[in-house]
Amino acid sequence: MRLGYARVSTEDQSLDLQIDALRKAGCAEIYEDHGVSGVAVDRPAFAKIMRALQPGDELVVWRLDRLARSMFDLIDFLRTMRRGEVIFRSLCEGMDTSSPFGEAIYAVASIFAHLERSIIIERTRAGMAAAKARGVTFGRRPVLDSAELREAAYLRSLGMKVPAIAAQIGVGRSTLYRYLHALEQMPGFADADIG
């Protein structure tokens, strides 16, 4: 069966052009997402058509950008289609995965997606290295700063119980146990002046 998918991003846009083209292409059913962004995770009609597709079916879109907003999304989608033995066609780009030319386009798109992913990873690593060289630290901000940790260690040395200290400082007990345990493992902790 040949199924069509049409989408516009805003409520004031019309689906007429896409629907006319999909009907002309022989789509038995057309699933419509109206006023749904291409980057939205929740696309009701798209989810419906994906459930409806069976091996041997054909999914047709008017243009690739109605379906995927990035090369990564497109390649992931095409892999899903291939695994499900579903043919994919895009009318404007003339892409048809049932033809040798369509397969070639898929292969080239995969290569470019891999290249793009590699470049992004390389840029990210270079940017992080440069930031580290400038003294930037990455990761979550510690729950306790050094003054709070000193206060907690001091109260603990006075014999105060961890639940009471945690309540006073405003952190969870398990967090405080973890910080105190890490502090106690540090060399020279027993001789340190924490008061």
> Which residues are tagged catalytic?
9
Neighbours of 102 (CB within 10 A): 19
- How far is residue 68's CA from residue 62's CA, in Å, rounded to a whole number? 12
Spatial contact of 10 and 35, defined as CB atoms under 8 Å apart: yes
Q: Please give the full DSSP string across 7-59, using - where no structure is assigned.
A: EESSTTS--HHHHHHHHHTT-SEEEEEES--TT-S--HHHHHHHHH--TT-EE
Q: Which residues contact 80 (CB under 8 A, 6 or more apart)?
A: 50
